[in-house]
Structure 1
Amino acid sequence: MKKLLLILTLFLTVGLAVTAQDDGDDKKTPGGKVEALKIAYITQKLNLSPEEAQKFWPIYNKYAAELRKVRVDGRLNKETEIEIEEKLLAIRKKYNGEFTKALSPEKVNAFFKAEKDFGTVLQKELLERRQQKLENRKNNNH
């Protein structure tokens, strides 16, 4: 029963995250897919109980929305990278306390590490895909 609740919670969370990103603009779809992959990656790394997941994901959704807003506003306002990073760090510090209401300090730390690791994994995957495309093009031209 607990596994069923966890799976249901994850599907709902992923659905909400993707829906929140999808405002009918097809350009947003890849971001929604990446967010869904990120949620799955974090879920796997944190090994959340159903109770933890139920508390954690609503906080995470607010956190992700604030990060997104800072990034978008920073680009629109032509802020420097340092200014944007300072704002992002302030949000992370703020939510560190919020996340500890749902998770142990160890899991909160694991979350921030998993979030960072996901970026690295994503970059590696994108680089490998680009290289594969270039190799395929090169092979097709010969």
Structure 2
Amino acid sequence: MKIKNILALLLFLVTFSFYAQNDKTDEKREKIKAFKVSFLTTELELTPTEAEKFWPIYNAYDDKQYELRHDKMKTYLKKLDDDNINSISEKEATTLLSQIECTDKELYLLREKFMTNIKKVLPAKKILKLKKSEDDFNRKLLKQYRDKAGK
């Protein structure tokens, strides 16, 4: 498996560990979002004009991505519990796999649309910086999560 696939899987799992804790989920999400905005703002060095156009596009993308991962994938994860996975039929497994694939495709198309829109706002170099900064942010968030869990 490629390293970025592993990183995406880890981010996916970390994201759901936050979602699984229903109490304070919104509060945690808002804290993470504020931390991410601050981090990306610093890393991207956006001009005021770029920032004005970038943030509405990015926030819409981020919210939709959250919705897909939270609403749909959370349902799938419940069904993938060890007890459930051993008791579902092959037909149910096939249906669940198909649903997961559809959601993955939706996430891909969302990312593709985001890239198309963001290319109209930011130069290619800053888009690459954005990708790197998002990866750095996710690693930093994962490290904080691990550090907190280890205490």
**TM-score bracket for this pair, using the shorter chain length:** 0.5 to 0.7
The 5-angstrom pairing of residues 34-73 of structure 1 reads: 34-73=32-71
* TM norm structure 1: 0.67
* TM norm structure 2: 0.64
CA distance in 2: counterparts of 1:123 and 1:85, whole angstroms:
22
- Considering only aligned residues, what root-mean-square deviation do their CA atoms show, in Å? 2.0
**For 1:101-139, what per-residue CA distance to the aligned partner results, in whole angstroms no more than 9, with x for missing partners?**
1110111121122112211110011111222x2xxxxxx
**For 1:4-43, what per-residue CA distance to the aligned partner results, in whole angstroms no more than 9, with x for missing partners?**
xxxxxxxxxxxxxxxxxxxxx8431011000110111111
Q: Which runs of 5+ in 1 are unaligned?
A: 1-24, 134-142
The 5-angstrom pairing of residues 92-111 of structure 1 reads: 92-111=111-130
Higher relative contact order (CA 8 A, sep 6+): 2
CA distance in 1: counterparts of 2:54 and 2:26, whole angstroms:
24
Q: Higher mean Cα deviation, 80-89 or 118-127?
A: 80-89
Work out the percentage of aligned pairs sharing the same amino acid: 31
Shift of 1:76: 5.3
Match of 1:89 in 2: 108
CA distance in 2: counterparts of 1:58 and 1:76, whole angstroms:
26
Q: Residue type of the partner of 2:148? A: R
Shift of 1:82: 4.6
Q: Which runs of 5+ in 2 are unaligned?
A: 1-22, 77-95
Helix, strand or coil: the match of 1:48? coil
CA distance in 1: counterparts of 2:70 and 2:147, whole angstroms:
27
Q: Residue type of the partner of 1:96? A: M
Q: 1:120 to 1:82 in 2, by over 3 A?
A: farther
Q: Higher mean Cα deviation, 81-90 or 27-36?
A: 81-90
